[in-house]
Structure 1
Amino acid sequence: MIPTAIENRISPARDTRVTARVGIALGATITLCFLTGLISHWIQHPPTWFVWPTHPVWLYRVTQGAHVISGTMTIPLLLVKLWSVYPRLFARPRLGDPLQLLERASIAILVGATIFQLTTGLLNTAKYYPWKFFFTTTHYAMAYVAIGALAVHLAVKLPIVRTALSTPLDDPTPAPAAGAAGAGDMVAAGAGESSGDDAGEPKGVDAAGERDTSAKVERGTGAKVERGAGSEVEGGISPEVGRGTSPEVEMGASAGIDTGTSAGTSRGTDAHIKTVANAAGERDGGAEGETGSGAGELKTVGAGGLKRVGAEGSKGQGTALGAPISAAGSSPESPALAAGPSPESPAPAAPAAGAGVSRRAVLVGAGLGAVVAGLAVAGQTVPYLRWLAVLAPRSGEGPQGLPVNRTAGEAGVGEMALAEGYRLMVSCGGGKRGFSRGELAGLPQYEVELPIACVEGWSASARWAGVRLRDLLGAVGEYRGGDVGFVSLETGGIYGRSVLPRRHAVDDSTLVALRLNGAELSLDHGYPCRLIAPNRPGVLQTKWLSSIEVLS
């Protein structure tokens, strides 16, 4: 539970209606990011059952672009959701409630895993790795942790989410929050039911400031009036209602009488009220009222003498007992004033802190923030949005019209790639042969337009020219099927090798490329030759080829 002082300072915009709606968008972006991330991981580390098609050639470009865009859009949505629930994250948990403990655990895991995924993923797009673990496998494992925690959190919160979504945003009534009061926290108004009558119970105060518990009210009915959650006595009051007798209220007071409720009279009965003042040791007073009668009066003897409190009783009206009597003998200006609020009095209004921010404004801001964040990186995937890609690490531009992720200098292959004795070794059908770059250029040449899409989210289309892979394999031996392995001149990188499935190997668009956009391959783009195949991540389009081998 949250202390009342803190609860009253929470902005009305920090409401479950905001949290639920932002949560839907957040769940959608996280789910999309998770699914597209699985695709990318399975392409690079394929399970035996996984099949990735060769066409359409732009499919991986779309899925990986969506992965990075949705992940980036998740960041402002997560911030808004955390803002909306932040004060309640520190509410004191109910240790005996296993459902709430499960909810708290799922929230901690979900928030931690999501922040980890977004942070490492964002740094990966910039190719910045300030950690020692291998990004790909760690990112993949934590994705399951995040999505599992999301599923548990959604299952626990589903009733609250459904209620919040069904409540209009502009409804001033607060929507139920997590950890809302249960049946034990409900308060029943202590009013007896009699035709047209309002009833309340007076409260007495003794010298120590304690409430007297000896009040009895008889209303001509056999009903009990309860105040509290399933309790006959709460706050020192034990009202009872009997049948067939006159109502009698007895109160003790040393310095005054603290009453803030009304004692109603029932139809056809007399109301006789006694007040005891132990400072003077005297009793006096009667207020009589009957159905349809005019007024009665209550007389009390206190330390300062006789004082009068007006009391009226009539059909459908309550007898007001609410004027505290002071030890000095002064009476209040109004007999209706009470030292404490009646059960029927409304709760004090919460401070208007933060009332200037509406729930709708928060939701609009969250949506705009997500859209702006997405557009700020979408241009590295969508060509006509490149001018908006102010946060994209890659602009789509570079040597020969393509960005370069890893240069020949970084790979340490410059001398080997430019050596006159370079040969591409090809093994197929039991045969093995080395090809110089001139010999490769002498084979039938084909040109295709294919996008190169990187795992960091950027992609760009280009015109590639070179030898079809299946023709090159056929020039060495009979290709009977099977995956094909590629080895780079780069020996130190984790992607110095790649495996091409058979369906890609035999595709017309798969080339051992020698030219890019009408010019000879530059060294940074893979000279003397590189692999280019449809619908594959850029890290698997091996550059600076050293050998090609058909795998069994």
Structure 2
Amino acid sequence: MARSPFSPAFWRSPLRGPRFTGVLGVVLLGGITLLFVTGLLSYAAYNPDLSPVNDQTPDKGLLGFYLFSWPTNPSWLYRLTQGVHVTLGVTLVPVLLAKLWSVVPRLFTLPPARSLAHALERLSLVLLVGGALFQFTTGILNIQLDYVFPGSFYPLHFYGAWVFFAAFVAHAVLKTPTALRNLRRMRAGEERERPEERTDLVAPEPDPPTVSRRGAFGLVGGASLLLFGTTVGRSFDGPLRRTALLAPHGWTDPGGGPGGFQINKTAAYAGIDRGETTADAWRLVVTGPAGTVRLSRARLMELPQHSAALPIACVEGWSTGDQWWRGVRLRDLAALVGYEEDPPDVFVESLQRRGAFRRAALRANQVADPRSLLALAVNGEDLTLDHGYPARTIVPAAPGVLNTKWVTRMEFGDL
């Protein structure tokens, strides 16, 4: 007679047990906490109080708390935080799957609740499993540019993160003492669970082992190292980038020359009509309290030009090294329309027709930074169309989507 998953005898792996689960849990405790912190930093980098331009999350309420304006120093800050967030998320996938495998018998434990504490643990486990699968799946689909999920990734991942982390904290509070106790006993050389420690994770009728517990840890760790090695290169330039086999923007060749660095969205993808970018057709409209000015590219070239070495870092986790950008300081454009001192926030609009962030907003501290430019050239030559010709913004430490390409309008004022 076939056994049911609700029967303890159904689960027969000799690897399952509190020690195996405890080690994986401690790794995830540190890793997921770092993921959540870097995720909050990514949220802050968008300056989400500049709603509804930068943040269109509906009904976020207290969850959308915003503590500070995103800094511009160091210029590689977002490159670091988002690179860690994405690379760590991919690296933890084998650990997460092994952890879920190790505790799956608990999802089928009967009765559903033996006490209030047990009921809370079961509820946290269900939310934890569902939230983990949702967050890791949507995150990986996002970095693979495979938007098969319904709705926008941004609010889905935002709300999913809070549900998942609440369940994670509740589960950690309940289980961390047990996990740490099991680790101490493993270090003391106690390889077998004591009879009084046998739980629903331990198979009552285990099959003969095919791999040792140490071998299982080696398999999980090896898989994580493999994913790390085929992902981390997206955050570096040179030969290491070619090792990022799992990154759409990792090993693809962006071409040579001054514009030979990574492109996220091409002009064709964004729906840019080349005719709109010609010298006769294109004008930059800049507005402020002193009125509106319309600037041709030639007129912009006559304004004081400045250079800055800045990277581009994207939410998908890839980044470039420093490129030499040259153009007009944003604060000088603010001065043209009435802000001689203390430039304010700015609303930026693009010619882009398709895709997210056709509009973006930058905080006053970003506008005031002398390295923040309306770039006209990069690495000694005019921008290419795919890099934002005729003009694009480039701001230190800002997410790539806020470095708007094909800029057509800038409105300075408190947003």
TM category, shorter? 0.7 to 0.9
After superposition, give the CA deviation of every residue in 1:350-385 in whole Å (9 maximum; x if it has no partner): 877342422222222222222221221110013363
Matched residue SS, 1:30: helix
Matched residue SS, 2:320: strand
Q: 1:153 and 1:174 mapped to 2: Cα distance?
A: 22
Q: Which among 131, 135, 138 is matched to residue 113 of structure 1?
A: 131
Which residue does 1:383 correspond to in 2? 237
In the alignment, does 2:77 pair up with 1:59? yes
Which residue does 2:411 correspond to in 1? 549
Q: Which among 426, 435, 445 is matched to residue 295 of structure 2?
A: 435
Q: 1:94, CA displacement in angstroms?
A: 5.6
Matched residue SS, 1:120: helix
Which residue does 2:312 correspond to in 1? 452
Q: Which among 247, 253, 264 is matched to residue 392 of structure 1?
A: 247
Larger RCO, structures 1/2 (Cα 8 Å, 6+ apart): 2
Which residue does 2:59 correspond to in 1? none
Residues 63, 172 of structure 1: alpha-carbon distance in 2 compared, 3 angstrom cutoff: closer
After superposition, give the CA deviation of every residue in 1:268-326 in whole Å (9 maximum; x if it has no partner): xxxxxxxxxxxxxxxxxxxxxxxxxxxxxxxxxxxxxxxxxxxxxxxxxxxxxxxxxxx
Which residue does 2:284 correspond to in 1? 424
Map 1:229-378 → 2, pairs under 5 A? 353-378=207-232
Q: 1:438 and 1:158 mapped to 2: Cα distance?
A: 64
In the alignment, does 2:357 pair up with 1:483? no
Which residue does 2:192 correspond to in 1? 173
Q: 1:95, CA displacement in angstroms?
A: 3.5
If you compute each CA radius of gyration, which structure gives the higher value, 1 or 2? 1
Q: 1:142, CA displacement in angstroms?
A: 0.6
Residues 95, 32 of structure 1: alpha-carbon distance in 2 compared, 3 angstrom cutoff: closer
Residues 5, 486 of structure 1: alpha-carbon distance in 2 compared, 3 angstrom cutoff: closer
Residues 53, 458 of structure 1: alpha-carbon distance in 2 compared, 3 angstrom cutoff: same
CA contact (8 A) 1:38 1:140 kept: no
CA contact (8 A) 2:26 2:179 kept: no
Q: 2:156 and 2:387 mapped to 1: Cα distance?
A: 29
Matched residue SS, 1:167: helix
CA contact (8 A) 1:389 1:395 kept: yes
CA contact (8 A) 1:18 1:359 kept: yes
After superposition, give the CA deviation of every residue in 1:365-408 in whole Å (9 maximum; x if it has no partner): 22222222122111001336323211111126415122222121
TM-score computed with the length of structure 1 as normaliser:
0.65
Q: 1:536 and 1:456 mapped to 2: Cα distance?
A: 14
CA contact (8 A) 1:429 1:479 kept: no
Q: Which among 501, 522, 535 is matched to residue 363 of structure 2?
A: 501
Which residue does 1:19 correspond to in 2? 21
CA contact (8 A) 2:106 2:200 kept: no
Map 1:148-159 → 2, pairs under 5 A? 148-159=166-177
Between 169-178 and 536-545, the greater mean CA deviation after superposition? 169-178
Letter in 1 for 2:215: A
Q: 2:270 and 2:132 mapped to 1: Cα distance?
A: 33
Residues 110, 4 of structure 1: alpha-carbon distance in 2 compared, 3 angstrom cutoff: closer
Question: What RMSD in Å do the two structures reach over aligned CA positions?
Answer: 2.4
Q: 1:431, CA displacement in angstroms?
A: 2.9
In the alignment, does 2:78 pair up with 1:75? no
Which residue does 1:38 correspond to in 2? 40
TM-score computed with the length of structure 2 as normaliser:
0.85
Which residue does 1:337 correspond to in 2? none
Q: 1:551, CA displacement in angstroms?
A: 1.2
Residues 506, 129 of structure 1: alpha-carbon distance in 2 compared, 3 angstrom cutoff: same
Matched residue SS, 1:444: coil
Q: Which among 391, 395, 407 is matched to residue 533 of structure 1?
A: 395
Letter in 1 for 2:413: L
In the alignment, does 2:170 pair up with 1:142? no
After superposition, give the CA deviation of every residue in 1:75-132 in whole Å (9 maximum; x if it has no partner): 1111111222234432323633222222111111101111111111111112111123
Which residue does 1:259 correspond to in 2? none
Give the count of matched residue pairs.
383
Q: 1:179 and 1:162 mapped to 2: Cα distance?
A: 19
Between 140-149 and 490-499, the greater mean CA deviation after superposition? 490-499
Residues 544, 91 of structure 1: alpha-carbon distance in 2 compared, 3 angstrom cutoff: same
Letter in 2 for 1:412: G
Q: 2:199 and 2:409 mapped to 1: Cα distance?
A: 61
After superposition, give the CA deviation of every residue in 1:32-74 in whole Å (9 maximum; x if it has no partner): 1111111112222424542211110000000000110111012
Letter in 2 for 1:364: G
In the alignment, does 2:194 pair up with 1:160? no
Residues 38, 171 of structure 1: alpha-carbon distance in 2 compared, 3 angstrom cutoff: same
Which residue does 1:467 correspond to in 2? 328
Residues 431, 498 of structure 1: alpha-carbon distance in 2 compared, 3 angstrom cutoff: same
Residues 394, 173 of structure 1: alpha-carbon distance in 2 compared, 3 angstrom cutoff: same
Residues 5, 143 of structure 1: alpha-carbon distance in 2 compared, 3 angstrom cutoff: closer
Q: 1:95 and 1:477 mapped to 2: Cα distance?
A: 67
Structure 2: runs of 5+ lacking an equivalent: 50-65
Which residue does 2:142 correspond to in 1? 124
Matched residue SS, 1:514: strand
CA contact (8 A) 1:473 1:479 kept: yes
Matched residue SS, 1:144: helix
